[in-house]
Amino acid sequence: MLQVHQVSHSYGGSGWRKSKAAAGKVLDNVSFDLEPGCCLGLLGTSGAGKSTLGKIVLGLQKPASGQVTFEGFELYTKGRQGIRKVRRDLQAVFQDCYSAVNPLMTADHIIGEPLRNYERLSPAELKRRTGELLEQVGLAAEDGSKRPSQFSGGQLQRVNIARAIALKPKLIVLDEPISSLDMVHQTLILDLLSELKDSIGLSYLFITHDIQAVMTICDRVAVMDKGQIVYHTDSPSSLPSAEHEAVQRLVSAVLPQHPSLRTSWV
């Protein structure tokens, strides 16, 4: 479904900034495939290049070199025809649930946006669909009249998820979707994402620094470090015992909650 082939990227600039950027590649020859129904975790510490790769997969950032093919269409061809063809099948949920929405709009309006862009629906049908989507993500249809400031962070992230699934996409890029939530809501949102993946048949590219989250939700994990995929596993639960130094850094950044368990974590 998604093929990322030898993608490299550096951020440009002008004058002295350009030469500084050229000194370090943000992405260096990254390749991976993602098959339908799979959740692939892109795991790495801050600055590893995960979000840049996410933007490239979403068609938002042209890479300096390499190819991205989604459903047989190459995204970065001349005229960006490929991106236009796959736009509705590729959606995203970002970390900051508040900045992802217009604070003046109601939840119905926010969730209805992709439907208004891609489908011709009567106002009554649009209202019915947004109500259904709200219920699908564990909110009530009546919540559609609320504005972002009337939701908690976890509830607003559900609104963002409802908008992302509105067009029944094939792939959702989840860029740190639970990082700004408390632990209870992190678990609830991971449960919701797992349920939706199975019920709608979604695929996810799950971008995170959180090793416990990838062990909970991902089928496969690619570990990124300094712009490269340095480790890959089809068995996320085996990550704590992986010997690669980049994985161990992520493992040691997570402590079990009870001090008595901390020495036996790995």
Ligand X SMILES: Nc1ncnc2c1ncn2[C@@H]1O[C@H](COP(=O)(O)OP(=O)(O)OP(=O)(O)O)[C@@H](O)[C@H]1O
Residues 87-106 that bind ligand X (CB under 6 A): none
Q: Give me the least distance between CB of 29 and ligand X, in Å please.
A: 15
Tell me the two tokens of residue 123: 């106002």
Cβ atoms 154, 188 nearer than 8 A: yes
Binding mask 160-199 for ligand X (x = CB under 6 A): ----------------------------------------
Please say which residue, 51 or 160, places its beta carbon nearer to ligand X: 51
Cβ atoms 217, 54 nearer than 8 A: no
CA distance 266 to 253: 12
Residues 1-30 that bind ligand X (CB under 6 A): 11, 26
CA distance 266 to 262: 9
Please say which residue, 48 or 86, places its beta carbon nearer to ligand X: 48
Write the CA distances from 155 to 185, 186, 238, integer angstroms. Answer: 9, 11, 32
Tell me the two tokens of residue 138: 């564990």
Q: Give me the least distance between CB of 54 and ligand X, in Å please.
A: 7
Amino acid, res. 67:
Q
Please say which residue, 44 or 59, places its beta carbon nearer to ligand X: 44
CA distance 36 to 160: 22
CA distance 181 to 210: 13
Asked if residue 249 binds ligand X (CB under 6 A), the reply is no
Q: Give me the least distance between CB of 211 and ligand X, in Å please.
A: 13
Q: Give me the least distance between CB of 15 and ligand X, in Å please.
A: 14
Please say which residue, 167 or 230, places its beta carbon nearer to ligand X: 230
Q: How many residues lie near ligand X (CB under 6 A)?
A: 11
- What does 207-234 look like in DSSP terms, one character per residue? EES-HHHHHHH-SEEEEEETTEEEEEES
Please say which residue, 47 or 153, places its beta carbon nearer to ligand X: 47
Q: Give me the least distance between CB of 229 and ligand X, in Å please.
A: 12
Please say which residue, 130 or 228, places its beta carbon nearer to ligand X: 228
HSE toward the beta carbon, residue 18, CA cutoff 13 A: 3
Residues 36-55 that bind ligand X (CB under 6 A): 44, 46-52
Please say which residue, 26 or 93, places its beta carbon nearer to ligand X: 26
Q: Give me the least distance between CB of 227 and ligand X, in Å please.
A: 7
The kind and range of the H/E element at 29 are strand 27-34
Q: Give me the least distance between CB of 258 and ligand X, in Å please.
A: 27
Tell me the two tokens of residue 202: 């979604």
Amino acid, res. 83:
I
Asked if residue 209 binds ligand X (CB under 6 A), the reply is yes
Asked if residue 60 binds ligand X (CB under 6 A), the reply is no
For ligand X, the binding residues (CB under 6 A) are 11, 26, 44, 46-52, 209
